[in-house]
Structure 1
Amino acid sequence: MNRPTASAYTDHFAREHLPPQELWPELRFDLPELQYPPRLNCVPQLFDGALAAGAGERIAIRGADVEWTYTELLERIDRIAHVLRGPMGLEAGNRVLLRGANNPMMAACILAVLKAGCIAVPTMPLLRARELGAIAGKAAVNAVLCADGLRGEMEAADLPPGAREKTLWFGCTDADAAGSLEASMAAQPSRYEAVDTAADDVCLISFTSGTTGVPKGTMHFHRDVMAICDCFPRSVLASQRSDVFIGTPPLAFTFGLGGLLLFPLRVGATAVLLEKLTPETLLQAIEKHRATVCFTAPTFYRQMAPLAGKYDLASLRKTVSAGEALPLATRESWRQATGLVMIDGIGATELLHIFISAAGEQVRPGATGKPVPGYQACILDHDGRPVGPGVIGRLAVKGPTGCRYLADERQNDYVLDGWNLTGDAYEMDADGYFYYRSRTDDMIISAGYNIAGPEVEDALLRHPAVAECGVIGKPDEERGQIVEAHVVLKPDYAASPELAAQLQEFVKGQIAPYKYPRSVRFLAALPRTETGKLQRFKLRNE
């Protein structure tokens, strides 16, 4: 299944920018449910189960003030697909940048792009114009679908030629306003025949910051979307039609895209998509919607545990933690508060979703779990050789999904001898359980967000007071890590709490606010090697 089949695309950008096939990881399809046909569009496949069972009138998606049945969601998807291939003039294989918070319309837009034979490039709501421009440029996007409430940064972003003219806004206060997606949808037919894509046509380009701050686009096929739905949720989560999924990760994160949209659709369940949740409002929403499955980061569970007794959480049967290491104390406090044993998991944007996990009686305290059926994992030493139990080394994974970076030489670093190297240091025990030990690179993981230190440094260096700086992740009990900036000031500036606060606000205006340094330390000089390289380990040791 590694050999490419005939593409349905007339725009061949995606296939032309895949890495050479000899640099791909080995892809394995060992389970019966992973045997996909050569022609496959994932969107009809996601809906087939529910519709074939006569569940078209079941609720597919609930938002803050709207709920759509499977039939209603499908109608909106089809109308948007007509807009894309009709009035917007897109061709198969074009890339569409998507920008919006977790709500039903954002979900419909993503699915419509895939059904129309285009490629979705989802972006997080908090990204700034400079970050959006970098993503749009690397993916060479042809069009934009953006929430009206997020116009500011989108309009300020530098877009490839033609994309600005093919931008539509959804969720406008005036649905008939010029450039309104809803207005365009109203004039379109309610049925759209899915484009007959190849199973290995790229349908999704998801961006991850990486350790250098330069965006990396991970390219995923239609069959990859199905594979993640047929692995973790089937084998570990044991999801079912009666489930109601809820949580916090943005749909622009593959953790959220899978857990809050793809997984529920695959089994004909219900997805609850809500914006700007806090630990308390998430608990309120679980009670209100009688949610049964929750996806969020350890930080949220940590903050929800002391509040859980105020709410009726009897409907919850599974709670999934991913995005950062799950502390034992958090898992235990959540169990004491709710009686639920947390499902921990590790995934990666490069592999699309969770590949090591455990649930129920298979949970072992302190361990992330075992490889999800369909995946294999081992620990490699620095020379790339597998090591046995009790040795800390590089986590290596292979399965039906794997890393394919968009025109990026870092493909060479992520794939070794067919294995995906996640950048995590792990240890395996004699029973095959995997234990997280640390990151093997300089990525900062704070409250479930991946933050690249060099990107924060770049933002700080734009401030007139900053001569040089070094950013690291500082251990933090609440968030796992926080961003800490070590700053050397220019001669005319003096260190002060006021200046530290000014630098924090400045960074928030340059890049996504969650990336700002929560700690700022002023130094006379940064530790460097003789060749001028920053010695981050010395900053960490301080």
Structure 2
Amino acid sequence: MHASAHVDTFARDHLPPPGQWPGLHFDLPELRYPARLNAAAELLGGGVPERPVFRTPAGPPWTYGELRARVDRLAHVLTGELGVVPGNRVLLRGPTTPWLAACWLAVLKAGAIAVTVLAQQRPRELRTMCAIARVGHALCDVRSVGDLAGAGIPGLRIAVYGGDAPDDLLNRRADAGPFPAVDTAADDVALIAFTSGTTGRPKGCLHFHQDVLAIADTFSRHVLAPRADDVFAGSPPLGFTFGLGGLLVFPMRAGASALLLEQAGPRQLLAAIAAHRVSVLFNAPTAYRAMLGGLDGHDVSSLRRCVSAGENLPEATWRAWHERTGLRLINGIGATELLHVFLSAADERIRPGTTGVPVPGWRARVQDGNGDPVPDGRPGLLAVRGPVGCRYLADPRQREYVRDGWNVTGDTYVRETDGYFRYVARADDMIVSAGYNIAGPEVEDALLRHPDVVEAAVVGRPDEARGRVVVAFAVLRPGARPDAEALRAFLTAELAPYKCPREILFLDALPRTATGKLQRFLLRARGDTGVDTDGDQQ
């Protein structure tokens, strides 16, 4: 590692031991970064000063020149009045706004470490993350300060922005001149991203300044292929690495702009696409499916790129979106541990029903539980390596994720003979029933082909005779009548009999994390205790 610019060395001191690191590869010329690198300075230096960088539904867009001036002013406040030194962890919390993005850039430019959390996270979650990362400073939107201030986090100094108080971060007196970026090492920690897993203690993922640029110089550059005149938008918040890449890093690396929406549900996105001529869209599969019902009356002709990640994209959703819009969804799989997407395909290389191939700069294989590669066509564990790798903050689970230099994501995949990777299930979501291996996503995809089903999830329930049986949960379109027998009859024409659910239960909505990931453990609990067809506990 290079000499660190950090005065507070906590993050570097708590990296995993070198022997537990994944292998890193910098195969592309654009990935060979200099030893000294500040990611914020690189991103801020890429756009034409007069061109827009951040747009909002109200008010004029921010230009690159205005953003640089505001980031420099914030960095002066951070390092002056607030006393932040390089290496300090700074928590960021608030809705997706240009000011949140500016705070993130200022933290990195000042050599500190950004810990961006979701505005929806509650006090207990905030206390846990702050304790793990030993966070001492926080920059918080005035509308999101309640839970943070009430969390009782020892020693946390909170600076509020977006209000009218004299001590508001945006009203504080500061040097108005340029702020020289701290001369951080390329492998100094720039951010700590916490996993949005559905159960268990969150894991803090340490990512370097070079990692921030690497995700733009692999997936964005080679698959997404953005243009300077693109307008990015999407549903994931900046506290989710899918959103950090898609709404901040990728557009800024390309000198493009992003529409930042505080409310980014399907209805708001459809209106925003037309109003702001959005051309690049980032969304989860469920959001694309929800948008299908609202396409009539909305102009989406400005779209040229639509990226799907966060969970598996069912082939039925891909085909429905393509049929309605003519657009080919760019499917991808990423991970908080690896910061962004590492398997994908675009344009004529897209094959519906598969995730794609390794993104340029990445390598991937399918292996068994012993770490040995399995033949093409057989399921196994997905393992990847590239310019970014998993480095948990002082967490023994590092040994589970990184094995023999490979990042083992916890997903079951099949590599086809032509090199395409096909998702099967999360490794812990495979259902073994009477000796048959049943992939829940395959059953979900079949359910979604029924015209009345808008969301579906499948789990296994313990069964004395078969080991486990398949239980399906379905969310129906408004006005549709819950009819488990009719759905089961539909599935018998779509699936082998052993794959068909023994029980189909109806819910108003599927339980999800704040980042949109399905909480299967809650469905397993409901399936084990019993739920009637109206979704009420029995």
User: What band does the TM-score fall into relative to the shorter chain?
Assistant: 0.7 to 0.9
1:169 and 2:152 matched: no
In the other structure, the counterpart of 2:51 is 58
1-structure distance, mates of 2:267, 2:111: 40
| CA separation of 1:232 and 1:478: change in aligned 2, threshold 3 A | farther
Aligned residues: 461
1:257 and 2:244 matched: yes
- Equivalent position to 2:152, from 148, 151, 158: 158
> 3-state DSSP class of the match of 1:346?
strand
| CA separation of 1:317 and 1:213: change in aligned 2, threshold 3 A | same
In the other structure, the counterpart of 2:174 is 187
1-structure distance, mates of 2:415, 2:293: 32
- Where do residues 81-480 of structure 1 align in structure 2 (5 Å cutoff)? 81-161=75-155, 163=156, 166-172=157-163, 174=164, 177-184=165-172, 186-210=173-197, 212-441=199-428, 475-476=472-473
1-structure distance, mates of 2:270, 2:330: 18
Alpha-carbon deviation of 1:65? 2.1
Contact 2:220 2:250 in 1 (8 A): yes
When the two structures are superposed, what TM-score results if normalisation uses the length of structure 2? 0.81
Unmatched 5+ stretches in structure 2:
431-439, 445-458, 460-468, 477-506, 531-538
| CA separation of 1:259 and 1:513: change in aligned 2, threshold 3 A | closer
Deviations along 1:134-192, one digit per CA (max 9) or x if unpaired, are: 0011000110001111122111113232x2xx2111121x1xx15411112x5332411
> 3-state DSSP class of the match of 1:219?
strand
Contact 1:95 1:139 in 2 (8 A): yes
Identity of aligned residues (%): 52
2-structure distance, mates of 1:513, 1:5: 34
2-structure distance, mates of 1:220, 1:287: 35
> 3-state DSSP class of the match of 1:261?
helix
| CA separation of 1:519 and 1:281: change in aligned 2, threshold 3 A | farther
Match for 1:59: what amino acid?
P
- Equivalent position to 1:6, from 3, 23, 26: 3
Provide the alpha-carbon RMSD of the alignment: 2.7
1:79 and 2:73 matched: yes
Alpha-carbon deviation of 1:59? 0.5
Unmatched 5+ stretches in structure 1:
447-452, 454-471, 480-500, 526-542
In the other structure, the counterpart of 1:21 is 18
Match for 1:397: what amino acid?
V
1-structure distance, mates of 2:161, 2:471: 39
In the other structure, the counterpart of 2:63 is 69
Alpha-carbon deviation of 1:522? 9.1
When the two structures are superposed, what TM-score results if normalisation uses the length of structure 1? 0.81
2-structure distance, mates of 1:478, 1:282: 22
Deviations along 1:36-66, one digit per CA (max 9) or x if unpaired, are: 000000111112232xxxx211000012324
Contact 2:364 2:383 in 1 (8 A): yes
Contact 1:141 1:160 in 2 (8 A): no
In the other structure, the counterpart of 2:456 is none
2-structure distance, mates of 1:371, 1:513: 24
| CA separation of 1:387 and 1:147: change in aligned 2, threshold 3 A | same
Contact 2:196 2:515 in 1 (8 A): no
In the other structure, the counterpart of 2:534 is none
Alpha-carbon deviation of 1:337? 1.1
Contact 2:240 2:515 in 1 (8 A): no
